[in-house]
Chains A and B, each alone.
Chain A
Amino acid sequence: MKYLDDYRDAEAVRRLAEAIRSEVSRPWTLMEVCGGQTHSIVRFGLDTLLPAELTLVHGPGCPVCVTPAHLIDAAITISRRPEVILCSFGDMLRVPGSKGDLFRAKSGGADVRVVYSPMDALQLAIESPDREVVFFAVGFETTAPANAMAVYQAKARGVTNFSIVCSHVLVPPAMEAVLAAPDNLVQGFLAAGHVCAIMGWEEYFPIIERYHVPIVVTGFEPVDILQGILLCVRQLESGRAEVENQYARWVSREGNLAARNVIHEVFRIIPREWRGIGSIAESGFGLSEAYADFDAARRFSVSDEPEAEDDSGCISGLILQGRRKPEECPHFGTRCTPEHPLGATMVSDEGACAAYYRYRRTERPEEAPA
């Protein structure tokens, strides 16, 4: 962990913050793409070290946050079947669908289990031949290789009682959607380091060409994030728009080829519905035809088609696109809390609203009880 301490060094943080202050000559708005970066920024109060001209807005890179309600509904419906064991990553359990969440399904008798890896779910399927094990495969490019590997192995080993509810989304199309919005404010990106560790950074070249924005591949620790901001600010101040790699200790230009291969073997690119944002073309993974038998929605004849958007008053879509901050929502900390979230940005630790609630809430004036 000494390695980690180097990236949380108070002196290095102070020097970087000073360097950023000395380079900024006019207002700039940057977006950190990944929810892990948002969490780190709020947890360590990094934005409080930045000059007033520099605004950080929080991006769409929270996999729990953007999983649409209809897929959570589908997972809940499937979990209620007596033969099914529904496995999920932990933080998916509290995200509300249109009628409840997986925690409540569990307390109502559904066999819902937290796993740490899709391979654990596959193993459970092998050990439970009389049950149907369904894995809720959520995430960005970071979780896609392991999820793809679980399906690949299931097919190779002839495991017929394993399937996935697939809700995979991709980062570059979401960044393009942010830039294409008519009221976009974002002038530079801190790209998600872990996503690039899998995918490399070549896929950002077309975005830079089309929108002329700097994109800096950035890590997650305080020193990483401030270095990423400094590199991004330097590009903006000098009128450059390039891909730069702050996170060189993990990320190479071509990414992880073995991981990309298994993704391409198992998945195909499809349009995806993003919660609060809407449908984005070519923005997600679905199972390819050769692996369609492992699609839980198909296996259990459950609709995974989008229905009407919820009308809870949640503005998570605007938050995920960097167009609002959590405190600007009238429901923040009143009707909407991590315990009773109206939208998913309040659920996951990586959601901007949950991070603000956890680390910032009591700095606001006291709210009157509803």
Chain B
Amino acid sequence: MSDGSESCPLSVDEGATVQLSHGSGGVMMHRLLEQVIFPALGDDPAAARHDSAVLAASDGRRAFTTDSYVVRPRFFPGGDIGSLAVHGSVNDLAMCGARPRWLSLGLILEEGLPIDELRRILESLRRAADEAGVRIVTGDTKVVDRGKGDGLFINTSGIGVIEHDLDINPGSVRDGDVILLSGDIGRHGIAVMAAREGLAFETTIESDSAPLHKPVLALLEAGLPVHCLRDLTRGGLAAALKELMRDSSLSARIREADIPVEPQVRGACEMLGLDPLHVANEGRMIVVLPPGAADDALEILRSFPVSQNAGSIGQISAGQPGRVVLESVVGTSRMVEMLHGEQLPRIC
């Protein structure tokens, strides 16, 4: 990793335990992957670093992905754990440029979960799947004792069909490429945090949870030379860019003034001491491609509601591998770093 912190072991303590920060999409989670999970699995971990694995089949390539959903609360403005479980896996497939086709559904239910609530979540999940054009083709249901789960956990795995010949991955990113962002950032993280913690804002902030495969497929159908796609999830725009620059050994320069953040989200971030660059999203992506293709790409992205506010936010350059620099709104520049662990609201 290029964050210079590899000198720190996972934990200095004997008998270390997993902490919440190990799941937050930041430096600590990367360390858990690099030091515990990948080594235990033996194989080249490179394939596991992407949103989906790309598998060769006799009649073309397939994308394969899996993701688990543990969001609390299960219902939040703009979505719920059911729709999220579809959008997350659909987006992971879309980030390989795949057409999402089939999903599996694993349910872990805690004793005591109201059946009515389960029904509502499954209806929402089904609706999201229909909208995304994916079919739930296999599944599994387990029930655990009261107190042994958090009501409901969902796992979905997905398979998509790759209908293009591009290598959409960090290795294809080139010096000079532009970075497009598909819309405003930070809404999902703030919406969930507000619902979980009972924070009231003047207007309700809705999650951006949405499927991204349609604009992606449209870019590919137009024959645009897409070099890389990355959806913004935990860790936000900062983590997505840092991972991309680490894996491509290039650096990025982005412009704060061009990164849209809704006023309510900005207000909440200012109040809580959070940086919108680090806040989670579930329906936003970055598209990296050569500068000559940027205008066409933006026109296509803006023709879909989910990416109607797409814009160019910066550029890739050679330079120090892994570095991401932000030009601030006041004309100075600073480094962008991945969050180290959990986002912690500050004291004052």
Interface, chain A (partner B; CB < 8 A): 1, 4, 8-10, 13-14, 36, 42-46, 48-49, 63-64, 89-94, 103-104, 106-108, 114, 116, 120, 138-140, 142-143, 194, 222, 333-334, 337-340, 348-350, 357-363, 366-367, 369-370
The verdict on B344 contacting chain A, using a C-beta distance below 8 Å, is yes
Contact between chains at A36 and B348 (CB < 8 Å):
yes
**Chain A residue at minimal CB-CB distance from B26:** A339
Assuming the contacts A107-B18, A333-B4, asked whether A45 and B347 have C-beta atoms less than 8 A apart, the reply is no
The verdict on B334 contacting chain A, using a C-beta distance below 8 Å, is yes
A-B contact pairs, 21 of them (CB 8 A): A4-B266, A10-B331, A13-B331, A36-B348, A43-B334, A44-B334, A45-B333, A46-B332, A90-B344, A90-B346, A91-B346, A92-B347, A93-B344, A116-B199, A116-B272, A116-B345, A139-B348, A339-B340, A348-B346, A362-B320, A363-B335
Contact between chains at A369 and B7 (CB < 8 Å):
yes
**Chain A residue at minimal CB-CB distance from B27:** A339
Contact between chains at A138 and B347 (CB < 8 Å):
yes
**Chain A residue at minimal CB-CB distance from B345:** A90
Question: Hey, which chain B residues are within 8 Å of A10, CB to CB?
Answer: 329-331
Contact between chains at B6 and A369 (CB < 8 Å):
yes
Q: Indicate which residue in A48, A143, A194, A348 contacts B332 across the interface (CB closer than 8 Å).
A: A48
Assuming the contacts A1-B266, A103-B21, A361-B4, asked whether A94 and B331 have C-beta atoms less than 8 A apart, the reply is no
The verdict on B20 contacting chain A, using a C-beta distance below 8 Å, is yes
Q: Indicate which residue in B7, B13, B17 contacts A370 across the interface (CB closer than 8 Å).
A: B7
A103–B17 alpha-carbon span in the complex (Å): 11
Contact between chains at A362 and B347 (CB < 8 Å):
no
Question: Hey, which chain A residues are within 8 Å of B8, CB to CB?
Answer: 337, 339-340
Question: Hey, which chain A residues are within 8 Å of B198, CB to CB?
Answer: 120
Question: Hey, which chain B residues are within 8 Å of A48, CB to CB?
Answer: 332
A139–B289 alpha-carbon span in the complex (Å): 48
Q: Mark B320-338, 1 if CB is under 8 A from A, else 0.
A: 1001000011111111010
Question: Hey, which chain A residues are within 8 Å of B114, CB to CB?
Answer: none
A357–B334 alpha-carbon span in the complex (Å): 11
Question: Hey, which chain B residues are within 8 Å of A334, CB to CB?
Answer: 7
Min distance, Cβ B203 to any Cβ of chain A, angstroms: 13
Main secondary structure of the interface of B (DSSP, over half): loop
Question: Hey, which chain B residues are within 8 Å of A92, CB to CB?
Answer: 347
A82–B198 alpha-carbon span in the complex (Å): 26
The verdict on B197 contacting chain A, using a C-beta distance below 8 Å, is yes
**Chain B residue at minimal CB-CB distance from A354:** B340
Contact between chains at B348 and A8 (CB < 8 Å):
no
Given contacts A116-B197, A357-B337, A369-B7, 16 further A-B contacts (CB under 8 A): A10-B329, A13-B331, A36-B348, A42-B334, A44-B332, A44-B334, A45-B332, A64-B347, A104-B19, A107-B19, A143-B348, A222-B330, A333-B5, A339-B28, A358-B337, A360-B335
Question: Hey, which chain A residues are within 8 Å of B341, CB to CB?
Answer: 94, 338-339
Interface, chain B (partner A; CB < 8 A): 4-8, 12-13, 17-21, 27-28, 197-199, 263, 266-267, 270, 272-273, 320, 323, 328-335, 337, 340-348
**Chain A residue at minimal CB-CB distance from B338:** A358
**Chain A residue at minimal CB-CB distance from B251:** A362
Contact between chains at A139 and B347 (CB < 8 Å):
yes
Min distance, Cβ A270 to any Cβ of chain B, angstroms: 20
Which 4 residue pairs across A and B have the least CB separation, nearest first? A45-B332, A90-B344, A370-B7, A90-B345
Min distance, Cβ B343 to any Cβ of chain A, angstroms: 8
A340–B12 alpha-carbon span in the complex (Å): 9
Contact between chains at B332 and A91 (CB < 8 Å):
no
Min distance, Cβ A196 to any Cβ of chain B, angstroms: 13
Indicate the member of B5, B21, B263, B348 with the most A CB atoms within 10 Å.
B348
Question: Hey, which chain B residues are within 8 Å of A366, CB to CB?
Answer: 4
Question: Hey, which chain B residues are within 8 Å of A222, CB to CB?
Answer: 330
Contact between chains at A8 and B344 (CB < 8 Å):
no
Question: Hey, which chain A residues are within 8 Å of B5, CB to CB?
Answer: 333, 337, 339
Min distance, Cβ B235 to any Cβ of chain A, angstroms: 14
Q: Indicate which residue in B266, B329, B340, B347 contacts A91 across the interface (CB closer than 8 Å).
A: B347
Question: Hey, which chain B residues are within 8 Å of A363, CB to CB?
Answer: 335
Assuming the contacts A1-B267, A339-B340, A349-B273, asked whether A361 and B199 have C-beta atoms less than 8 A apart, the reply is no
Contact between chains at A49 and B347 (CB < 8 Å):
no
Question: Hey, which chain A residues are within 8 Å of B272, CB to CB?
Answer: 116
Q: Indicate which residue in B4, B328, B334, B340 contacts A338 across the interface (CB closer than 8 Å).
A: B340
**Chain B residue at minimal CB-CB distance from A368:** B7
Assuming the contacts A94-B341, A339-B8, asked whether A89 and B347 have C-beta atoms less than 8 A apart, the reply is yes
Min distance, Cβ B140 to any Cβ of chain A, angstroms: 29
Min distance, Cβ A88 to any Cβ of chain B, angstroms: 9
Min distance, Cβ A346 to any Cβ of chain B, angstroms: 10
**Chain A residue at minimal CB-CB distance from B324:** A362
A370–B12 alpha-carbon span in the complex (Å): 14
Question: Hey, which chain A residues are within 8 Å of B330, CB to CB?
Answer: 8-10, 13, 44, 46, 222
**Chain A residue at minimal CB-CB distance from B266:** A1
**Chain A residue at minimal CB-CB distance from B270:** A4
A138–B19 alpha-carbon span in the complex (Å): 24
Question: Hey, which chain B residues are within 8 Å of A4, CB to CB?
Answer: 266, 270
Contact between chains at B344 and A91 (CB < 8 Å):
yes
Question: Hey, which chain A residues are within 8 Å of B6, CB to CB?
Answer: 369
Question: Hey, which chain A residues are within 8 Å of B333, CB to CB?
Answer: 45
Min distance, Cβ B239 to any Cβ of chain A, angstroms: 14
Min distance, Cβ A138 to any Cβ of chain B, angstroms: 6
**Chain A residue at minimal CB-CB distance from B8:** A340
Question: Hey, which chain B residues are within 8 Å of A358, CB to CB?
Answer: 335, 337
A366–B27 alpha-carbon span in the complex (Å): 18
A334–B7 alpha-carbon span in the complex (Å): 7
Q: Indicate which residue in A63, A106, A107 contacts B348 across the interface (CB closer than 8 Å).
A: A63
Contact between chains at A194 and B337 (CB < 8 Å):
no
A43–B270 alpha-carbon span in the complex (Å): 13
Min distance, Cβ B274 to any Cβ of chain A, angstroms: 9
Contact between chains at B266 and A194 (CB < 8 Å):
no
A234–B79 alpha-carbon span in the complex (Å): 54
Contact between chains at A350 and B346 (CB < 8 Å):
yes
Contact between chains at A94 and B344 (CB < 8 Å):
yes
